[in-house]
């Protein structure tokens, strides 16, 4: 499963909302026979990276986002 756009406003950060969400969705995914959950995190978001590492998430340094603004 690819998780797209899990963003939290600054006012809600450090309230463990993301942790709560992941703790609820992971068992559901396992029961659904899902083999992998994938999402992206910006390199500048050190607090999120540290949080994910505590959950034993593998941080893949290979993928790079490409954005083309059509304005």
Summarised one tens digit per residue, pLDDT across range 15-66 is 888 888 889 999 999 999 999 999 888 888 888 889 889 988 998 888 777 8
For the chain, which residues make up each domain, given as ranges? 1-71
Q: Is the confidence at residue 71, as pLDDT, over 80?
A: no
CB under 8 A, 24+ apart: contacts of 41-50: 47/13, 48/18
CATH ID of 1-71, from 3.40.630.30, 3.40.710.10, 3.30.2310.20, 3.40.50.300: 3.40.630.30
Q: What pLDDT score does 63 carry? A: 78
pLDDT value, residue 43: 86
């Amino acid at each position: 499963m690819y998780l797209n756009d899990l963003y939290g406003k600054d006012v809600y950060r450090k309230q463990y909302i993301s942790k709560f969400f992941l703790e609820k969705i992971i068992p559901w995914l396992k029961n659904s026979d899902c083999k992998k959950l994938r999402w992206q995190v910006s390199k500048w978001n050190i607090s999120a990276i540290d949080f994910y590492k505590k959950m034993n998430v593998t941080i893949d340094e290979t993928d790079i986002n490409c954005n083309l603004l059509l304005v």
